């Protein structure tokens, strides 16, 4: 939307835009439900054997030379050294950096790519990925396989992912897995706003401790080790691939 212009050109998948228009015929609603089921099925099938993961969120717009790209790359390496796979939104920028670090450290590098007209395409450091049309399916997949969440600097999408994860934990819909918010200077205003919410009583005082603010990869990794591995254990359910279904280990 431009200044002084009330027109808006939507982006994203045509299916999602049609769904959000409101009620449609029963047949079209059934087609939508079928599309959603197929996307979930494809994601579950693709990620069934990836093992316990840490999800890294962050901007698609940072280039390789950016300091945050370098931090995310090291984060990917250290997460793998803990014994986790790294899963991201699968695109460029911070996502690429974390996947790159994971691959360089000899771990599993996984992506859940959203189909968009620009910016987003699977990066070259992925061992396994799936393309998704619907944002809500993507967020479910990024949550389902993760024992921890690392939130690097990003835009609207990154904040959406951060607040969804923390809301799920706050409301008890998700175990209290660790969340790390990297980049104190970048997130200064966000930190102040969260403190304001606590002061106003819109969140409980203890809700401020649901995540860690830090600039240190080492502190982040220690936090994940303490509140993910030591608390929940680094476990993967013992499930054997069924060859006739085309399944294989990652």
Q: What is the pLDDT of residues 134-154, one digit of tens each?
A: 999 999 999 999 999 999 999
Side-chain-facing half-sphere of 87: CA atoms under 13 Å: 29
For the chain, the farthest-separated pair of C-alpha atoms sits apart, in whole angstroms, at 59
What pLDDT digit, counting tens, does each position of 119-128 carry?
568 999 999 9
Whether the CB-CB separation of 86 and 107 falls below 8 Å is answered with yes
Tokens at 39, concatenated = 């996307």
| pLDDT score at 9 | 41
Q: What is the pLDDT of residues 165-187, one digit of tens each?
A: 999 999 999 999 999 999 999 99
Report pLDDT for 239.
Answer: 63
Alpha carbon distances (Å) from 101 to 7, 46, 70: 42, 21, 9
Architecture of domain 37-234: 3-Layer(aba) Sandwich (3.40)
Q: Which residues pair with 131 in a beta bridge?
A: 113
User: Which residue ranges in the chain fall short of pLDDT 50?
Assistant: 1-12
Polymer length in residues for the chain:
250
- DSSP letter assigned to residue 151: E
Residue-level pLDDT at 27: 87
- Please state the pTM of the whole predicted model: 0.88
Cα separation, 95 vs 77, in Å, equals: 13
Domain locations in the chain? Answer: 37-234
pLDDT score of 12? 46
């Amino acid at each position: 939307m431009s200044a002084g212009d009330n027109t808006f050109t939507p982006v994203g998948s045509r299916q999602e835009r049609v769904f959000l228009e409101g009620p449609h015929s029963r047949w079209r609603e059934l087609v939508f439900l079928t599309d959603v089921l197929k996307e979930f099925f494809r994601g579950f099938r693709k990620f069934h054997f990836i093992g316990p993961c840490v999800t890294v969120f962050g901007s698609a717009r940072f280039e390789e030379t950016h300091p945050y790209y370098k931090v995310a790359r090291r984060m990917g390496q250290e997460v793998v050294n803990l014994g986790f796979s790294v899963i991201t939104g699968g695109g460029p920028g911070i996502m690429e950096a974390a996947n790159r670090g994971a691959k360089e450290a000899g771990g599993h590098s996984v992506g859940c790519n959203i189909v968009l007209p620009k910016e987003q395409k699977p990066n070259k450091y992925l061992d396994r990925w799936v393309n998704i049309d619907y944002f809500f399916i993507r967020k479910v997949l990024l949550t389902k396989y993760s024992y921890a969440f690392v939130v690097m600097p990003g835009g609207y999408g990154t904040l959406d992912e951060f607040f969804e994860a923390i809301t799920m934990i706050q409301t008890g819909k998700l175990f209290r897995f660790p969340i790390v918010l990297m980049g104190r200077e970048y997130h200064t205003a966000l930190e102040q706003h969260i403190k304001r919410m606590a002061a106003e009583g819109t969140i409980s005082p203890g809700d401020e401790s649901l995540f860690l603010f830090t600039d240190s990869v080492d502190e982040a990794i220690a936090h994940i080790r303490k509140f993910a591995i030591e608390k929940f254990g680094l476990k993967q359910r013992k499930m054997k691939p069924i060859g006739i279904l085309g399944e294989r280990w990652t």
